[in-house]
Amino acid sequence: MIELNVNGLRHLLDVPDDVPLLYVLRNDLALNGPKYGCGLGECGACSVLVDGRAARACSVSCGAVSGRRIVTLEGLATEDGLDPVQEAFIAEQGAQCGYCLNGMIITIRALLNENPAPDEAAIREALRYTLCRCGTHVEILRAARLACGLDPAAMPR
């Protein structure tokens, strides 16, 4: 039995502790936010927050995060509404197919948790290993800038 704290709820799960967190979140807890992208920690589509930092759920076993606070895309919103990072991605239309969007939003949320006022270079560096194939980089950066308190329009368009 593994105990996982996900989106504020404690779950007791009868799975071996070496199962990657991603499959437990998706298949046992029916959470669709984290996506399978590479299984190698390269693309970031599976990102979740673990104690407020971004982790790649495909490459973390659930045993390793038992007892830690896991938040998925579904758990970002509060009673007061969506997370401002989600609001920013909606406002700036920061998605095309949207498959990578989870990783983008989680990464920017984690960046803000660590650094409340990142500059553009810090944003780009934080997103270096979250891959987008649709080429939505312009809109994603605008959304990230907005979420980080920078002027989105200062981005070239």
Partner 1 sequence: MSKDVLSRHEDAGGYVAVTRAPAQPHGMGAVKRDLSNVPDDVFVVVRADEHVVGYCGHVDLGTGIATALAQIVAEEMDVPFSWVRMELGHTGSTPNQGATIASETIQVSAIPLRKAAAQAREVLKTLAAIRFGLARDELHVLEGVVYRGEGTRLASVADLLVGVRHVTRFDEDVALKPRSAYRIVGHEVPRVDIPDKATGRVVYVHDVRVPGMLHGRVVRPPYHGVEHGRQVGRSLIDVDRASIAHLPGVVEIVTIGDFVGVVAEREEQAIAAAQALVVRWRPVEMPDLTDIATALRNNPSTPRRLLDRGDVAAALDTAARRLDVSYLWPYQMHGSIGPSCAVADWRGGSPVVWSGTQNPHMLRSDLATLMALPEGRIEIVRHEASGCYGRNCADDVCGDALLLSRAVGRPVRVQLSRAQEHVWEPKGAAQLMEISGGIDAAGRPVAYSFQTRYPSNVSPLLALVLTRTIDADRPGVTQMGDRTCIPPYAYDNARVVVHDTPPIARASWLRGVSAMPNSFAHDSYIDELAAIAGADPLAYRLALLPDARAHDLLLALADRAGWVTRHGPRQPVDRTARVLTGRGIGYAVYVHGAFPGVAAAWAAWIADVAVDRQTGQVRVLRVHVAQDAGMMVNPAGVRHQVHGNIVQSLSRVLKEEVTFDETGVTSRDWGTYPILTFPELPEIDVLFMDRPNDPPLGVGESASVPSAAAIANAVFDATGVRFRDLPLTPARVKPALDRALGAYVAPEPAPVPLPLAQRRMQGRPALRRGLRDLLNVGVLAAAMFQAASTAWPVRRPIAPVPRPDAASFTPDEIARGRVLAAAGDCAVCHTAPGGVTNAGGRALETPFGQVITTNLTPDVETGIGGWSYAAFARAMREGIGRDGRHLYPAFPYTSFARVSDDDLRALYAYLMVQPAVTHAVPETRLAFPYALRPAMAGWNVLFHDPTPYRADPSRSAEWNRGAYLVEGLGHCSACHTPRNALGAEKRGSAYLAGGEADGWIAPPLGTRSRAPVPWTVEAMARYLRQGHDAAHGPALGPMAPVIAEMRALPDADVRAIAVYLTEDASRAAPPAPDAAAVSASALARRADAALREPAGARIFAGSCAACHEGAARHMDGNRPDLALNSNLQDARPDNVIHAILHGAGHAGEDGRGEMPGFRTVLDDGQIASLLRYLRAVNAPGRPAWDGLTARIVALRAHHGGP
Q: Which residue has the tokens 């979140």?
A: 25
Distances (CA, A) of 102 to 17, 61, 136: 25, 20, 13
Q: Alpha carbon of 67 to those of 9, 23, 37, 108, 128: distances in Å?
A: 11, 18, 26, 24, 29
Site string for partner 1, 68-87 (x = CB under 8 A): ----xxx-xx----x---x-
| 110, 146, 148, 150: residue in contact with partner 1 (rule CB under 8 A) | 110
Residue 116 near partner 1 by CB under 8 A? no
133 binds partner 1 (CB under 8 A): yes
Structure tokens at 11: 């779950």
> Residue 100 interacts with partner 1 (CB under 8 A)?
yes
Q: By rule CB under 8 A, what string of x and - marks binding of each residue 17-56 to partner 1?
A: -xxx--x--xx--xxxx-xxxxxxxxxxx----xx-xxxx
What does the longest C-alpha to C-alpha distance in the chain come to?
51
Closest CB 29 distance from partner 1, rounded Å: 12
